[in-house]
Structure 1
Amino acid sequence: MNTAGSEAKWALQPTARGVAMVAGATPAPYWLDRPERPAARARLSGRRSADLVVVGGGFTGLWAAVQAAEANPQRSVVLLEGDRIAEGASGRNGGFCSASLTHGLVNGMERYEDELPDLLRMGVETLDAISDTISRLGIDADAERTGELNLASFEWQVSGLKEVVDQGRRLDQPLRFLGRDELAKHVSSPLAHGAMYDPDVMIIDPAKLAWGLAAAAERLGVRVFEHSKVTSLTSVGDRVAVRTGYGSVDATRVVVATSASKPLRRRLGYLMVPVWDYALMTEPLSDKQLSDIGWSGRQGLADSGNRFHYFRLTADNRILFGGWDAVYYYGGDTDPRRAQKPSEFGLLAEHLLQVFPQLEGITATHTWGGVIDTCSRFNNFWDVSMGGKVCSVLGFTGLGVGAAHFGARTALDLVDGRDTERTRLNMVRSTPIPFPPEPLRWFGITMTRRAFARADRNQGRRGLWLKAMDAVGLGFDS
């Protein structure tokens, strides 16, 4: 298949070579399918009490627990995870830890123009805090602050990247545009016509970060329970009864960080929908293969379409390649059987070979899917309930590895009733436009996905549907 030149197109169907690449792959997340995964902790049983209960053992919950314990060592903290630490989105993502709190500069400019300079500053401060905490707590997360290259896979995408770089410079952002020749020093691909470089991105091993945070939380005195799914929250006077299948905790305050799981507060189900994202992991590349693709700086890579890919190198030089299609199933179905979709993996494999034809013959060792909690504004939001005793944070839309730290810190401020720079943000005080009930929800999301696909086939030109979504504040330009 000829992928060179401006007439190149992404394959739309799996090919024989793509199917062959993933044929023998283990159907499980690579990050979680390793011997260093810690043994499961005990489930909660009986009745307990705590000053703070954190519901959810992903990044947001783990950061909330660690930050709360560090800020006040006398505060008793319990963390309840319904499955195992990092079993959800935190153990199934690409490991891109970005400074962005607004799901990218363009989304931030469109939604939070007045306070964007503050959000940009806070985002870099958050990334620095994550890096410092990883070092201070001795967490081995294979962290590399390499930055990210957002690629123009086709000539028509170059002008859009240049425009974003110009917008970023006006906001004192350290973005830089790389032309084809300069980009060739960093990556060798027929689908690399230019790139925007963002230095404020750190590449990490997401599961090792989550496991390290859980261990650090325990060292700080947090009691961590796994296989302890919370079934209800009930306000009882000035306390909250947090119930699981086998026990309960009487809590003063609660932070709920359940990502794309069914929200404990029913009304939040109208503000968030779960969409499925798919990825594959290759076998380790040889020195020759690494040299052939020229990925010398180990930056995270992504491309620039409405439907985009993300890819990065692991510590042992595997390639994680994911993205492209975000799939919503009717009724918000999150059945674990959805995690394996052979057609998605075959297509992703073909796309990887379109990016790097030098890797013809490489095999994938793992394939998996995971659920993302998305909302109509594409970055997370907070909800305070039960008279201020409970704060939920969700809606990260796939960019939560870094933003979860900020989300957790702000949730602690809110649930403790603190007036801070963070809690005064309009972004924090507002909520996204709700999604309609089914079947309108499925229809709207499906129509938008199809419109994105048409736009990418039409050199990015947005049709009537996407223009209508833009007009009502539901549009998104990745």
Structure 2
Amino acid sequence: MTASHVRDALASAKPLPFWLDDPDRPAARPPLAGDQSCDLAVVGGGYSGLWTALRAKERDPGRDVVLVEADRIGGAASGRNGGFCEASLTHGEANGRTRWPDEAARLEELGLANLDDIEVTLRRYGIDCDFRRTGQLAVATRPHEVEELRAEAEGESAVFLDRAAVRAEVDSPTYLAGLWSKDSCATVDPARLVWGLAAAAERLGVRIVEGTPVERIRRAGGQIAVHTNHGTIHAQQVALGTNAYRPLLRRLRLATVPVYDYVLMTEPLTDEQLASIGWSNRQGLSDCGNQFHYYRLTADNRILWGGYDAVYHYGRRVRASYDQRQETFDVLARQFFETFPQLAGVRFSHRWGGAIDTCTRFCAFFGTAFGGRVAYALGFTGLGVGATRFGADVMLDLLAGEDTERTRLALVRKRPLPFPPEPIAWIGIQLTRWSLARADARAGHRNVWLRLLDRLGLGFDS
């Protein structure tokens, strides 16, 4: 695939998320109209905040809940992600087993139960978001990855596929083997999911305001004052779902970093093009590299193709201008046609990017502040489509002061190590990215830096 072919394929791609380029996108809700009071104020109008608001009303219908969003509901990561709704609460079984060996099996069960509950909720409220529980297919594209996948196979729920079998599922000359986890992942239209959750929450009585950035929170007598540019919300309790954006609690300023992820969407495939790659079971796919791709089919048979290039900007900066990065789009397009050469000539309709939050353990962490009146869940590292529902219940348990199975988990009780301040954070992240790419090129061999991170409990092998 030449550079000119890549440029032609990208030439007409719209620079905005495909999911939000939808005439059915709900109109913006009005901003906060002066000072208000409530039982629970939820900050953030993505999955984390919406699940918290919805679950709060389901658990206590009489609770007065206000959700405040700085921009538009689902306008950030929740409306632009790949739409993989995974069962994992720990960013993969290996990460969970390494960090919480005594809880790993139970965390897997809780994650699957959480995914079941999401499916039930969608049916209960009639949320049409193209939810398809087709599972996820991990593919090996390098020889050393084949035995790694074979070792992970667990009977009927995770089936190892040799080269012929995996190419019978999805045909790419780059595939050497695969692992089909049949029940642990669904695909969704992420924007329609977030819009459906917002509508369901409002039907239960949640008040949602948009275009209302929260500037700070503080203790005000026996309440928490949530100060915005349109007035102040006086709440008995507050739940924070700000994720990649600047934390409102000083203690969290070094707990996460924002990392930019990029995505391409193809035009709809013809019947002949789709037949050339198979994919009749419509699984979500990912390859096994440290720098990995994720991809899936949409309802109208486009291919979403994202990942690989995770970009960190010095100083934890989050800016709209970073959402478009031509260098990354060129790389992604070239890699797409290397994976599916039979789709030469397909063009991309949309290109976009955005920040996700990550922490040093690569999955969500939890806590409280202001004497237990404020709860937070952060650090979902790209798995928030599913795990935020579990995180919402954790936050509500913590605010209630309840001793539950969730709050007893070491996953919930223990905090990750913070990232260092700049310039150490930037240097460390760039060194890690370089080392992970080098490991992919050297049959998975982890260099001294990666082995040091492993010993410190900071390593991650995707």
Structure 1 residues without counterparts, runs of 5 or longer: 2-13
Mapped pair 1:382 → 2:386? no
Aligned twin of 2:289 = 305
Query: What is the letter of the counterpart of residue 422 of structure 1?
Result: R
Confirm whether residue 401 of structure 1 aligns to residue 389 of structure 2: no
1:54 aligns to 2:37 (yes or no): no
Structure-2 residue corresponding to 1:198: 181
- Alignment partners' CA distance in 1, 2:437 and 2:105: 32
SS in 1 for 2:169: coil
The CA distance in 2 between the partners of 1:276 and 1:204, in whole Å, is: 21
Aligned-residue offset at 1:174 = 2.2
Q: Which amino acid aligns with 1:182?
A: A
Q: CA RMSD in A?
A: 1.1
* SS of 2:198 mapped into structure 1: helix
Partner of 1:84: 72
Q: Which residue of 2 aligns with 1:183?
A: 166
- Find the aligned partners of 2:8 and 2:262 in 1 and give their Cα distance: 17
Q: Name the residue aligned to 2:148.
A: 160
Separation in 1, partners of 2:181, 2:214: 39
Residue in structure 1 matched with residue 237 of structure 2 by the alignment: 253
| Partner of residue 85, structure 2 | 97
**Per-residue deviation, residues 74-131 of structure 1 (Å, max 9, x unmatched):** 1100000111011111011100000000000110111011111111110010000000
Matches within 5 A, 1:391-430: 391-430=375-414
> 1:114 and 1:448 mapped to 2: Cα distance?
28
Q: Which residue of 2 aligns with 1:10?
A: none
Q: Which residue of 2 aligns with 1:339?
A: 323
Shift in Å, 1:299:
0.3
Structure 1 partner of 2:454: 470
Deviations 1:42-62 (A, max 9, x none): 001211111101100000100
How far apart in 1 are the matches of 2:289 and 2:331?
A: 16
- Aligned to 1:91, the other structure's residue is in SS state helix
Return the offset for 1:164: 2.3
1:101 corresponds to which letter in structure 2?
L
Q: Note the alpha carbon deviations across 1:256-304, whole angstroms, 9 max, x for none.
A: 0011000001221211000000001110001001000111110000000
TM-score, normalisation: structure 1? 0.95
Letter in 1 for 2:191: A
Question: What displacement does 1:399 show?
Answer: 1.0
Do the aligned residues in 2 keep the contact of 1:15 with 1:347 (CA within 8 Å)? no
Measured in 2, the distance between the counterparts of 1:98 and 1:469 equals 26
Aligned partner of 1:16: which letter? Answer: S
- Cα displacement (A) at 1:193: 1.0
Count of residues paired in the alignment: 461
What is the aligned partner in structure 2 of residue 272 from structure 1? 256
Q: Secondary structure at the match of 1:434?
A: coil
Deviation at 1:18, TM superposition (A): 2.1
Cα offset for 1:408? 0.8
* TM-superposition CA deviations, 1:370-393 (whole Å, max 9, x none): 101000000000120000000011
Structure 2 runs not aligned, ≥5 long: none
Name the aligned partner's letter for residue 20 of structure 1. Answer: D
Matched residue SS, 1:248: strand
**Counterpart in 2 of 1:21?**
9
Which residue does 2:132 correspond to in 1?
A: 144
- Tell me which amino acid in the other structure corresponds to 1:331: G
Deviation at 1:36, TM superposition (A): 0.9
1:41 counterpart residue number: 29
Match of 1:371 among 355, 359, 384: 355
Match of 1:323 in 2: 307
Q: Report Cα offsets for 1:424-454 as digits up to 9, x if no partner.
A: 0011011101110000000000000000111
Maintained 8 Å contact 1:89/1:259: no
